[in-house]
Structure 1
Amino acid sequence: MEEVPVTVRAEGREETLSVERGANLRRALLAAGFEVYAPAARVANCGGRGLCATCGVRVETGDGAPADADHWHDRLAARYGYPRLSCQLTVEEPLTVEIPEKRYWGQLLPR
C-alpha cells in the first residue's frame, strides 16, 4: 500500500507520520500516540462514529486538504470555524493537521 505524509502539530511539537492511503485519520493519530480527546472523552467517546464531536482537528487548507465536508459536524465546522472530526476524515493526500488543546469534554472552540 502507498503511504502518505501527514504532518501533525500538537502540544508544541510537529511530527510527520507516514500513513497508509485510505486510512482513517483518527485511528492513525491514536496509533502514533497523539491524543485527540480531552481527558474525560478518552474513556467516554463514540469510538469514531462521528457522534460525540470530541476528536476535532484543524486541517490546514490548501493542497491535500480533505474534500468538502460530508458529515453534519464537518458542515457546521466549515460554516462556523470549528475543528473537523478526525474520525470522519480519510487520508488520501498529504495533509497538515493541528490537534487543538482540549481541557474539557470536547472544547472545540472556534478560532
Structure 2
Amino acid sequence: MNESVTLTVREDGAETTIEAERGAILRDVLRSHGVAVYGSVSRVANCGGRGLCGTCGVRVEGAEGGSIPAAGLHDAAAKRWGYPRLSCRIRVTEPMTVEVIEKVVWGQLRPE
C-alpha cells in the first residue's frame, strides 16, 4: 500500500487540501481533483505531460523550503530564476503547497 501525501492547493484566492499517492506526478494529481493547471487554449493543445510545452506551470513550496528536486532543463531554470515550475515534472514525495497560476493565452501568465 502506498503512503499518501498532503497537498495544499491555492487557486483563485481559495485554499484546499488534497491527498496524493506518494510518487504520483503533480499534474495528474491536480487534474484528477479538478484543478485547472492549463489555460483555455493549452487545456486542449498541450504536450500531455511530457515537459515540452511549458504550459502546466505552478508555484511550489516544499516542506523543506523548496526541496522538490528539479527534473529537466526547464524545471531547473524555473527553480533557479523563480518562475513557475512544470507540474508534469514534479513527483509528489513530501507535503507541499501548490499555487495554481492564472493563465490567459497558451501557458503564459497575465502581464503585471
Question: What CA distance in whole angstroms lies between the structure 1 residues aligned with 2:77 and 2:33?
Answer: 28
Q: Which residue of 2 aligns with 1:85?
A: 86
Alignment pair present for 1:12 and 2:13: yes
What letter matches 2:84 in structure 1? Answer: P
Question: What CA distance in whole angstroms lies between the structure 2 residues aligned with 1:49 and 1:66?
Answer: 22
Question: What CA distance in whole angstroms lies between the structure 1 residues aligned with 2:65 and 2:8?
Answer: 11
1:69–1:87 distance in 2 versus 1, CA, 3 Å: same
Contact 1:69/1:78 (<8 A) preserved: yes
Structure 2 alignment gaps of length 5 or more: none
Q: How many residues align?
A: 111
Q: Which residue of 2 aligns with 1:57?
A: 58
Contact 2:55/2:107 (<8 A) preserved: yes
1:61 is displaced (CA, Å) by 4.7
TM-score w.r.t. the length of structure 1 is: 0.91
Q: Which residue of 2 aligns with 1:3?
A: 4
What letter matches 1:28 in structure 2? Answer: V
Contact 2:58/2:100 (<8 A) preserved: yes
Alignment pair present for 1:40 and 2:41: yes
Structure 1 alignment gaps of length 5 or more: none
Indicate the percent of aligned positions where both proteins have the same amino acid. 55
1:44–1:66 distance in 2 versus 1, CA, 3 Å: farther
Q: Which residue of 2 aligns with 1:67?
A: 68
Question: What CA distance in whole angstroms lies between the structure 1 residues aligned with 2:34 and 2:67?
Answer: 22
1:89 is displaced (CA, Å) by 0.3
Q: What is the RMSD of the two structures over their aligned residues, measured on CA atoms?
A: 2.0
Contact 1:50/1:88 (<8 A) preserved: yes
TM-score w.r.t. the length of structure 2 is: 0.90
Question: What CA distance in whole angstroms lies between the structure 2 residues aligned with 1:5 and 1:64?
Answer: 16
